[in-house]
Structure 1
Amino acid sequence: MNDYTEAEVQRAMAEDLDIAEQGITVVRSDVGLVLRGEVESPHRRDEIVRMVHGRFPGIEIAADIGVTRAAAPTEAEELA
């Protein structure tokens, strides 16, 4: 891992045609890199992690990627 690894991972996530993710940040940790952000599904999170592991096999990757609710609400919100 070098000084540019975070930027390389960030660019790879943005330029990959299947991922095209710009909302995930990459932070260096004591043991490797941490991916942080929010995505719309567990499947999307897994695809991002799988792609990064595949492109950067020698780097320890930890995912701190949350899943946000992307579906429409099932009931109306009442405003007071």
Structure 2
Amino acid sequence: MTNQIDLEAEIHRLLIEHEQVAEQGITVHHRENVVVLSGEVESTHRRDEICRQITAHFPGVAITCDIGITRAQAPSEVEEIS
């Protein structure tokens, strides 16, 4: 059986090396019996693809994708500085 540190390392390696993911900004850690992926990406499509690839490659592992979306749009209001 793979230990937690090895599993986290394997998942992190897949996040970095998989051609459809190639993401270095995702943190992988164990919380109780679940592996949690956290961080931020630029779109829901990217987040969903990351979560899909990880769950497909590690089908026997409980995975929670706690990945947020970075707001990449320009501000809609002018910021006033006094």
Q: TM-score range by the shorter chain?
A: 0.7 to 0.9
Q: 45, 48, 66: which one pairs with 1:46?
A: 48
Percent of pairs with identical residues: 52
- Alignment root-mean-square deviation, CA: 1.4
Give the number of aligned pairs: 80
Counterpart of 2:61, as a letter, is I
Once residues 22 and 79 of structure 1 are traced to their aligned partners in structure 2, the CA distance between those partners, rounded to angstroms, is 35
How far is 1:75 from its partner?
Answer: 4.5
Structure 2 unaligned regions, length at least 5: none
Provide the TM-score with structure 2 as the length reference. Answer: 0.85
Could you say which residue in structure 2 is the equivalent of 1:13?
15
Q: Which runs of 5+ in 1 are unaligned?
A: none
Q: Residues 1-80 of structure 1: matches in 2 within 5 Å?
A: 1-2=2-3, 3-80=5-82
